[in-house]
Structure 1
Amino acid sequence: MQGPHPVAPPLVALTKRAMGGMRSVGGRLACLFGIVAALGACAVGPDFTRPEAPVPGSWQNAGDPRVSTQAAADSRWWKAFEDTSLDRLVELAYHQNLPLQVAGLRIVEARAQLGIASGMQYPQMQVAFGNANAVGLSENIAKIGGLPRNYFGYQVGLDAAWELDFWGKYKRGVQAEAAEMLATIADYYSAIVSLSAEIARTYVMIRTFEVLIDQANENVALQEKALEIAESRFRNGATSELDPTQAATLLESTRATIPRRQTALQQARNALSTLLGQSPDTIEPLLVGPKAIPKAPVTVAIDVPAAILRRRPDIRSAELYAAAQCARIGVAKADLYPSFSLAGTIGLDASTRGTASANLFSSGSMFYLAGPRINWAFLNYGRITNAVRVQDARFQQLLVGYRNTVLKAAQEVDDALVGFLNAQAAAAFEQNAVTSAQRSVELAISGYREGAVDYQRVLDAQRSLLQQQNDLTESSSSIATSLIALYKALGGGWELRQNDPVVPERTQNEMKERTDWDDMLGPSRPQEPKKNAAPAKH
């Protein structure tokens, strides 16, 4: 960082003399601005209070023995699946996902915006000026005394202006930017929650398609054997051509499902590569391991409903954006009242127009101008009043949005919970159905080979087997995805990044080469100005 600018010693001395000459003026102004500064602690506009939001007393399925409300949900909830590939993917996504990096950069932007708002509480204009001019007067203008028509002028000095925060305009501005900065942090954590859930959901979909493809291939092998039997019986005159043609129809229909599943599988892999911030050709090594749907635990631990207000970062974000907008009402209202400023100029002024060249840095070259100023836009034709109304309407929208966010959060938890529990029940029934369907195929083929049943029984049994296997796979997948949705609805996973930088190191280095960022690129820090964020009253 640059140090203070050097100041010429003569100018420092002259400044001290000028201030001495201004003592009488300053004495008269001190009382006025002392009162103004004391009253500046007040702030117009409403103070933010967290809005009431309807939260259920308990979850609808909280009494189920598979649900525990005694402990909060695990922050590393994906480890419940005991799948090392999934663990690795979540960790990679935390460091490589591009939208998450954008969310982190918004925090950095908000920190800089807060710095701007904080600086507005102090003198808003400080300008050092200097100029040198060559002046030539027209020959057609009467000459003044013995002064020359051509001369040089020099000037150097300082301008300063400070609008006192009499109505709390800048204080409210700091509150608004501080709340918005904290909201971007909540948005960042919300992005982490969504990212971990989306990685897990996409991974489950990949494994689901792999299982469906394997099942289709197994059924193709089974149906090929049935076709061979039908063709053999047809060649031996034991049956008509209808049996082998029906067998071939079912076989080709089953084969046709495989390319469709492979398309969906590749699309899921492509989606995973995007989430990881890398190209699709790098995904395959990350998916080593059994091609099986991650097995979810039978039981789940969830928070009580009221806990989602403090756990879910998107709810916290909605509250903070409302707090920021509440402060902006005060910023707009301050324009309804007069503003009080203190402005001044001090400097040195000299020219060569006199009988001898003047010395710029002599005491006689000093000039100053200082005094109070009052501005009041009272003939604003309702513009300021309507500006206040605009900010108030936006604030009310955010309050309603906050309540809606809470309602949706509760709905998401209940939806995911009932989906998780009922998918488990469905999977148990479908497992029994698959077992029965497998036995039916064995009996149908055996009976057909011996001529005891017609081929329609074989067709029906094989179709049923494939359908029941697919239903079981979908239910197993639904168990996993419902549990993922439940943990996402509970707001799990964001805690792991609290002490990590919000901007990757490589990006930090790139940005620091362009701009002095001080310490703004680091993690969410304990000294983040939460006290300026207009905390909610309870």
Structure 2
Amino acid sequence: MKKFQLLSLLTATLILAACSVAPLYEKPQVMMPQQFKEAHGSLKGEQGSQWQTAQPSEVADRGLWWQVFNDATLNDLEEQALLDNQNLQAAIARLAQSRALLKDERSARTPQISAGMSPTLQRVSPDSQRAESGSEQTLWRAQAQIAYEADLFGRVSSLIGAAQADAEQSAALLQSVQLSLQADVAQQYFTIRELDAEQEILRYTVDLRAKMVQLTQYRFDAGDIGELELVRARSELASAESETLAVSRRRAIAEHALAILLGKAPAEFNLAAMPLQRINIQIPAGLPSTLLERRPDIAAAERAMAAANARIGVARAAYFPRLNITSALGYESSDIGHLFEWSSRTFLLGPLIGTMLSLPILDGGKRDAGLARARAVYEEDVALYRQTVLKAFGEVEDNLASLRIIDRQTGVQDNAVIYSERASSLAQSRYREGLVSYIEVIDADRTLLSQRRVTLQLNAERARATVQLIRALGGSWQAPAQPNLAQASR
């Protein structure tokens, strides 16, 4: 009869364990445009109608996107950063922590078994033994204890689901750190190359102004001009030399920042000078917005919603009974020498302390508050997810617009440089012939320097906008070449 009752209890437990009060998780609807605004007419006249909406997918490979720049030095720097950057190592450690927490939650699905051995000195009351006097005795116990929480209303399953989503969110955040690191390395690299190019322009300017000082000194010595023009020439030379030193300072600071991104001390890193050249990368026409599926911040935001939804189930389960099944079996004897004899065996089914089935009746609104908080957290995560998607589309639009306008601006700016070079050449020739004052040369020289710098800035902005577009898309638009870091760490 007892066995039948025990079997009935276990059967009922299994039936109840199949019940879950957690809400069914569904990704919230997000209003997305059918095409990118800036894709229309921005890519060699192609229409943007081929762009499609996307759903998050954090496991998609992002590829070695920096290889589109065809720069061996940049390729090497990116590899170093992936190996030694400390922020990335910290993100990998956080992913390992979240996976360990998931494993910890999953352990609740299996009975917890422990074993121990101990003596107990006990005085038994006369009434309990119906004896004339109490007695003291020492009991030796060697037992195994088993504890298990039956998942009656999905509390354990909801905890595991939340931990699973948290682990997946950590994986997406690792991808986010990795993608940000790769983009930061590329941005810093192109900044240094921009400063190298600016340094080259300034060195040319210094050489040109040094020659003009010599010419002005010659004409001053010959009595053709006054001291004012000589002083102006020397002032312009000193100004150019000062700007050269300022660029050197900025370049040193940028190089130190890049070293830190690579996980190196600044003293251990030196990057040879290499002026930035114009980068011409053609973005494929009709590039689908499904590439946004790989944006790790979107994936992380979506997984945060899933975890919050699962925790609503945990909060709901608090309204229902919890069944904790405990038992112990082993040996018990007053003589250690007879402890492991067959006649000394013993067992206990039921709670050692407390109750097996528990249900809070009056808690002052604690469960209501817990459920309200869980729902509010979910609503917050829904709003953050939608905002993340909007931000992603905005970043893509921004960089598409930047690249489109930079293309047009560069063509106009190239003409400005050509005209400035011609004007500077004419001014110098007329000055040598004594037809104009040195002020004309200074104005033409400054204009040329300014236009060359604007051209350089456009070249740098093109490189940075390309990097930012790739980052906004979540990685390369080319076929992936190797597994991503988060997948490799699993």
TM over 0.5: yes
Give how far 1:315 is off.
0.6
In structure 2, C-alpha distance between the alignment counterparts of 1:41 and 1:67, rounded to whole Å: 58
Does residue 128 (structure 1) correspond to residue 128 (structure 2)? The answer is: no
User: What are the equivalent positions in structure 2 for 1:311-390 lying under 5 Å apart?
Assistant: 311-352=294-335, 359-371=338-350, 373-390=356-373
SS at match of 2:27: coil
Give how far 1:396 is off.
1.0
SS at match of 1:265: helix
**Equivalent pairs: percent with the same residue?**
29
Q: Deviations over 1:60-98 (max 9, x none)?
A: 222223376779998333222221111111122222222
Among 235, 251, 254, the alignment partner of 2:240 is 254
Query: Which residue of 1 is the match for residue 448 of structure 2?
Result: 465
Alpha carbons of structure 1 residues 306 and 458: separation in structure 2 relative to 1, 3 Å = closer
User: How many residues were matched structurally?
Assistant: 468
Structure 1: gaps of 5 or more residues: 1-23, 138-143, 503-521, 526-538
Query: Which residue of 1 is the match for residue 12 of structure 2?
Result: 35
Query: Which residue of 2 is the match for residue 225 of structure 1?
Result: 211
User: What are the equivalent positions in structure 2 for 1:180-195 lying under 5 Å apart?
Assistant: 180-195=166-181
Give how far 1:303 is off.
6.5
Q: Deviations over 1:138-177 (max 9, x none)?
A: xxxxxx779986x643111122222210100011111111
Structure 2: gaps of 5 or more residues: 53-60, 125-130
SS at match of 2:331: strand
Does residue 293 (structure 1) correspond to residue 271 (structure 2)? The answer is: no
Cα contact 1:129–1:157 (8 A) shared by 2: yes
SS at match of 1:75: coil
User: What are the equivalent positions in structure 2 for 1:74-113 lying under 5 Å apart?
Assistant: 75-113=63-101
Give how far 1:371 is off.
3.7
TM-score, structure 2 as length reference: 0.88
Cα contact 2:305–2:381 (8 A) shared by 1: yes
Counterpart residue type for residue 220 of structure 1: V
User: What are the equivalent positions in structure 2 for 1:392-411 lying under 5 Å apart?
Assistant: 392-411=375-394
Alpha carbons of structure 1 residues 500 and 299: separation in structure 2 relative to 1, 3 Å = closer
Query: Which residue of 1 is the match for residue 187 of structure 2?
Result: 201
Cα contact 2:43–2:283 (8 A) shared by 1: no
Give how far 1:477 is off.
0.5
Does residue 237 (structure 1) correspond to residue 215 (structure 2)? The answer is: no
Query: Which residue of 2 is the match for residue 434 of structure 1?
Result: 417
Give how far 1:419 is off.
0.9
Give how far 1:497 is off.
8.7
Counterpart residue type for residue 26 of structure 1: K
Counterpart residue type for residue 112 of structure 1: A
Q: Deviations over 1:355-375 (max 9, x none)?
A: xx8722234433322148210
Give how far 1:250 is off.
1.7
Q: Deviations over 1:36-74 (max 9, x none)?
A: 212211211212111122322212222223376779998
In structure 2, C-alpha distance between the alignment counterparts of 1:81 and 1:146, rounded to whole Å: 94
In structure 2, C-alpha distance between the alignment counterparts of 1:270 and 1:384, rounded to whole Å: 54
Alpha carbons of structure 1 residues 133 and 337: separation in structure 2 relative to 1, 3 Å = closer
Alpha carbons of structure 1 residues 497 and 39: separation in structure 2 relative to 1, 3 Å = farther
SS at match of 2:488: coil
In structure 1, C-alpha distance between the alignment counterparts of 2:383 and 2:287, rounded to whole Å: 23
Alpha carbons of structure 1 residues 74 and 116: separation in structure 2 relative to 1, 3 Å = closer
Query: Which residue of 2 is the match for residue 4 of structure 1?
Result: none
Cα contact 1:173–1:327 (8 A) shared by 2: yes
Give how far 1:397 is off.
0.9
Does residue 54 (structure 1) correspond to residue 45 (structure 2)? The answer is: no
SS at match of 2:30: coil
TM-score, structure 1 as length reference: 0.81
Cα contact 1:71–1:301 (8 A) shared by 2: no
SS at match of 1:392: helix
